[in-house]
């Protein structure tokens, strides 16, 4: 009996959400204090986790998973009275549609990240070129922090010394080979 009632409430919530309810609550004058149960999930702008899950046809655990995986934003109001909006429901439906097409949550997260970005060319980044020897250059990003740049430059100096030592050893071997 309880399970059947839960399914019925879930179907009612889904049916109500399929209507254009953004203005419906304002038209009939539903007050947040009076709204309870299904009315709370469909006729107000905010809903609790269970109501969101029921309207989307998923478990509350799935909603939490979506938030943890970064495909669904957190509630608009956190804590014990956490609240979700119709935007959360729309996002869950979008996620479900992509999953029905075979997309993983990682792929969905990438799609959502791309949707949020305007298609703009990447910002230019300055680069510094250091000639270590006549035939070796090291290229370093120019926007490094000062402390990091100092360490990199120290490393380049050590690298240059090492190459010089190797070159002297190699030229020394060539001279001894030529003398024999």
Q: List pLDDT tens digits, range 5-37.
A: 555 555 555 555 444 333 333 333 334 333 333
Beta carbons of 85 and 45 less than 8 angstroms apart: yes
CATH 1.10.1660.10 applies to domain 2-116: yes
Residue entry with tokens 């947040």: 32
Query: Is the pTM value of this prediction over 0.75?
Result: no
Residue with the bigger pLDDT between 180 and 47: it is 47
Long-range contact set of residues 32-40: C-beta below 8 Å, sequence gap at least 24? 37/9, 38/9, 38/12, 38/13
Residue 176: its pLDDT value, please? 58
- Tell me which range, 37-51, 111-125, 140-154, is most confidently predicted by mean pLDDT: 140-154
- The residue ranges of every structural domain in the chain are 2-116, 127-179
Where does the chain show beta strands of DSSP type E? 46-47, 84-85, 127-133, 136-141
Beta carbons of 34 and 69 less than 8 angstroms apart: no
Q: List pLDDT tens digits, range 115-149.
A: 765 455 567 788 989 988 888 899 998 888 888 88
Distance CA(103)–CA(105), nearest Å, equals 7
């Amino acid at each position: 009996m309880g399970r059947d009632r839960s399914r019925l409430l879930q179907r009612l919530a889904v049916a109500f959400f399929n209507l254009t309810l953004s203005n419906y609550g304002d038209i009939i004058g539903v007050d947040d204090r009076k709204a309870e149960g299904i009315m709370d999930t469909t006729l107000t702008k905010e809903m609790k986790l269970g109501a969101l899950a029921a309207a989307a046809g998923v478990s509350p655990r799935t909603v939490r998973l979506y938030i943890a995986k970064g495909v669904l934003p957190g509630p608009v109001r956190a804590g014990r009275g956490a609240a979700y909006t119709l935007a959360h429901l729309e996002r869950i439906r979008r996620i479900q549609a992509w999953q029905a097409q075979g997309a993983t949550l990682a792929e969905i997260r990438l799609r959502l990240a791309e949707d949020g970005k305007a298609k703009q060319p990447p910002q230019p980044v300055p680069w510094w070129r250091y000639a270590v020897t006549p035939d070796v250059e090291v290229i370093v990003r120019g926007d490094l922090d000062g402390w990091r740049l100092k360490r990199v430059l120290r490393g380049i100096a050590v690298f240059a010394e090492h190459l010089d030592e190797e070159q002297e050893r190699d030229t020394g071997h060539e001279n001894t080979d030529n003398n024999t």
